[in-house]
Amino acid sequence: MKNTTISILGGGIAGLSSAIALKLKGFDVDVYEREKQPTDIGAGIVCWPNASFVLSELGMLEQIRKVSGEPVRMDRISDDEEPLGSLDIRELNKQMGYGSYSILRRDLMNIIVARANELGIEIHYSHELTSLNFDSDKYALAEFKNGKNIKADALIGADGRMNSIARTFICENNQPIYQGFINWVGVFECNQPVFEEIAVSDYWGTGERFGVVPISATRAYWAGGVAAPEIGERNPGDYKDELLKLFRDWPNLIPRIITETPVDKINKIYVHDHDPTETWHKGNLLMIGDAAHAPLPTSGQGACQALEDAWHLANLLEQNSEVTEVVFRKFTELRQAKTAGIILGARQLAASLFNTEQDYCSQRNQRSKETDYSTAVLGMARGWASGLPIGPQVY
Ligand SMILES: Cc1cc2nc3c(=O)[nH]c(=O)nc-3n(C[C@H](O)[C@H](O)[C@H](O)COP(=O)(O)OP(=O)(O)OC[C@H]3O[C@@H](n4cnc5c(N)ncnc54)[C@H](O)[C@@H]3O)c2cc1C
């Protein structure tokens, strides 16, 4: 299999981390990305311990640690500042054997791109995939807007959730599903320390939610969300007013964060996901990352699962001498149930967080206060570690 040529379509987290994992196993791999430079849409992410394991295996965890926060807790709080329960992230880390790291998206992408460059992986920017077709030998041919065509032993579609050409080719349709809520995301930075502790704060209202994830005492990324049955407009000039209208009377930190975040650091997203699908490949083309399994951000796991894909794919290709298609089937069998569970769990949480009925939300908050979060941590650790050789002995 080492002589197999592999081309990856899409240079996001899934595409580049897979390229790195494959290169480390000795495969000949390159990447085709439509943008002129690395993309860093979204504000930040938490690399939970399952992602940290993969980042360590790919030789990036030390760099990640240098620019990340290490959150100790996730506090759930009502919009009038009543504590609703707290999840001990240090216990989660202990159970899973790796740390959790909050990081800006641009920093994570910079580290991944630098690692790809260090390994000599060629990233062809300004290559927008426009179509995929089988040739007479049943090899998928990728065609780009700039006129270039490529053929490889294996093609990996890592072209994201919204317009994946790989998913359209494999599933014969690609209809991301709008899940009825908007997220505004942003990065807040200030001169004076604001965050005494690196702890995630997740504020719950009625049909509204605001999450703050510190990276250091002076820097955090955040997401404000609201239920919205229809997809509407996106006018960056209005984002702050829209947010302040919703969150002006929430705990002081929130209007402050909105007011002090530069408007060009705010993005507005009408949030979509995909139904889980059982078929992830056709011929020599496999889809991975959000193209194959895009969960809502309420999962906190989209990027983490993209990283897991990279690790599993490289291992399976290295271990198996069968034809690519057999390996791709094995990969799907290995990854489908875990990612489907994450998609469905994220929908359930979103339906609860963005419920607009007062009574429902009061009962939800009460249930959260009564939750045994130490048991919840064990459940999360078991679920997120599944399929990976990680556990408490490693940490
Ligand atoms: C608001 C929001 C918050 C989130 N927060 C978190 C979080 O806290 N933790 C977490 O783990 N995940 C989070 N996620 C999810 C996470 O961002 C994604 O799951 C992750 O980025 C998936 O990586 P990917 O490489 O599959 O897709 P993408 O990051 O979308 O990358 C796809 C790449 O393919 C390129 N591409 C697309 N089409 C083409 C084409 N035709 N030709 C060539 N290139 C193409 C794109 O330019 C892009 O570079 C969040 C998502 C959203 C929307």
| pLDDT tens digits, one per residue of 328-365 | 999 999 999 999 999 999 999 999 999 999 999 999 99
Q: Give 291 Cα–ligand 1 centroid separation in angstroms.
A: 9
| pLDDT tens digits, one per residue of 264-276 | 889 999 999 999 9
Taking the C-alpha atoms of residue 169 and residue 111, their distance in angstroms, rounded to an integer, is 31
- Is residue 163 in some structural domain? yes
> Where does the pLDDT of residue 306 fall: very low under 50, low under 70, confident under 90, or very high at 90 and above?
very high
- CATH number for the domain including 165? 3.50.50.60
Taking the C-alpha atoms of residue 151 and residue 157, their distance in angstroms, rounded to an integer, is 13
- Is residue 351 in some structural domain? yes
- Is residue 228 in some structural domain? no
Helices 302-319 and 324-353, packing angle to 10 deg = 170
Q: Judge if the beta carbon of residue 71 lies within 6 A of ligand 1.
A: no
Exposed, middle or buried, 24 (CB in 10 Å: 0-12/13-18/19+)? middle
To test the pocket of ligand 1, the residue of 20, 156, 159, 200 to mutate (highest count of ligand atoms within 8 Å of its CB) is 159
- Is residue 45 in some structural domain? yes
Question: Which residue type is seen at 367?
Answer: R
In the predicted model, what is the mean pLDDT of residues 314-319? Answer: 94
Q: Give 39 Cα–ligand 1 centroid separation in angstroms.
A: 9
- Is residue 241 in some structural domain? no
- Is residue 77 in some structural domain? yes
- Is residue 49 in some structural domain? yes
- Is residue 149 in some structural domain? yes
Q: Which two tokens stand for residue 325?
A: 């298609």
| CA geometry: angle 174, 176, 182, nearest 5 deg | 165
pTM of the model as a whole: 0.96
Least confident range from 170-184, 194-208, 278-292, 315-329: namely 315-329
Domain count, the chain: 1
> Where does the pLDDT of residue 174 fall: very low under 50, low under 70, confident under 90, or very high at 90 and above?
confident
By residue range, what is the domain housing residue 171?
5-176+274-385
